[in-house]
Amino acid sequence: MLNISCHSCGRLLTTLSSVPKFYNLRKIHVFRPKFTRNLFCGNYNRHVSRSTIRFMTSQSNIEYEAEKFSKLAANWWDENGNMKALHSMNHVRVPFIRDGLISMGCGEPFTSKPLHGIKILEVGCGAGVLCEPLARLGASVLGIDASDHVLDVAKMHRDGDTELSDLQYIDADLEDIVGAGTLRFHAVVASEVVEHVEHKMKFINNCCSLLMPNGSLFLSTINRTQVSYLLAVLMAEEVLGVVPPGTHDWDMFVTTDEIKSYLNQGNCEIQKIVGMNYNPLNNKWTKCQNTNVNYILHAVKKDETNADTL
């Protein structure tokens, strides 16, 4: 059970496990686990009081990553700005997620809201570039992120749009959601996040633990190859400028074999994996067979009950 307290006054507001539907968390303005304040013995600082592991990484890395993306907050929804490649990526990842869920018998295919009734958690949601189109497909989406500034942008962009009434953002750690102990989702999405995570296996295991039996994990990231260093770092950041300089660290990229191993530890099995190719000339992403640079995958949590009876 996770105690939720007001960030400003410390008053206990509610417990996450007592909220019947996670989208009601919208009414909680800002919260922190009550134990966090005790850890710092009264010297409570908003920035350093985040959980010891936000994206399963060191505190210094948490601060660096959050600050890096906070600087981009103001331009996040400019589809012709620094984040245009991320917006364009939705042409691949949104149908990939939609079709993957439908293939698992989730949602209502052949309707205007094919993901109606599906609960999705997006980890590292940024300003909601992926959350919003998933919500428009009918899903109840909960987005969490490390950057307060980016979440403010996400909320402002969402507010007033009645089609996004089941889209909620909370400033919570992945560990907070896991620690609640009662929240489970049809799908967890971690798109363009894992390459910023230090302890990747723990991060992925936590994502897997939040899935319902036969739930789906959707993950997109960058492979650690010589080609990816040339294209995703040198070309994208330094030459073409389609990604802000310093966005990526090649050493943090993760190979497909490593991802498979981490997923296996989380009792998940890959159903589909495809490469994603980006053409900077027309700002267009397409699926491809080559996973040497960008790739996206769909993994499914094994039914532990059925597995025990085999």
Burial class (CB within 10 angstroms; exposed 0-12, middle 13-18, buried 19+) of 310: exposed
Say whether 283 sits in a helix, a strand or coil.
coil
Range of 14-23, 49-58, 74-83, 117-126 with top mean pLDDT = 117-126
Lowest-confidence pick of 173-187, 207-221, 293-307: 293-307
Residue 113 to residue 129: CA distance in whole angstroms: 18
* Sheet containing 185-191: order of strands: 167-170, 140-144, 119-123, 185-191, 211-222, 294-301, 268-279, 284-288
CA distance 86 to 127: 11
Q: How many CB atoms lie within 10 A of CB 241?
A: 12
More confident residue, 31 or 228: 228
**Confidence class for position 55, pLDDT limits 50, 70, 90:** very low
Mean pLDDT of the chain: 80
* In the block, residue with structure tokens 């310093």: 246
Residue 39 has pLDDT above 70, yes or no: no
For residues 235 and 31, the model is more confident at 235
Taking the C-alpha atoms of residue 69 and residue 76, their distance in angstroms, rounded to an integer, is 9
- Region 197-223: mean pLDDT is 96
Instruction: Inform me whether the pLDDT recorded for 234 exceeds 60.
Output: yes
Cα torsion for 42, 61, 17, 212, to the nearest 10°?
Answer: -170
What are the backbone angles phi and psi of residue 262, rounded to the nearest 5°? -65, -40
Reduced to 3 states (helix: H, G, I; strand: E, B; else coil), residue 24 is helix
120 band by pLDDT with thresholds 50, 70 and 90 = very high
pLDDT in tens, 142-154: 999 988 889 999 9
11 band by pLDDT with thresholds 50, 70 and 90: very low
* pLDDT on residue 305: 60
More confident residue, 168 or 239: 168
Per-residue pLDDT tens for 283-299? 999 999 999 999 999 99
Average pLDDT over residues 128-137: 98
Helix axes 148-158, 59-70, angle to 10 degrees: 40
Residues 40/119, Cβ–Cβ less than 8 Å? no
The token pair that represents 49 in the structure block? 């009081």
Share of the chain above pLDDT 70, in %: 74
> Nearest Cα to 233, choosing from 255, 224, 73?
224
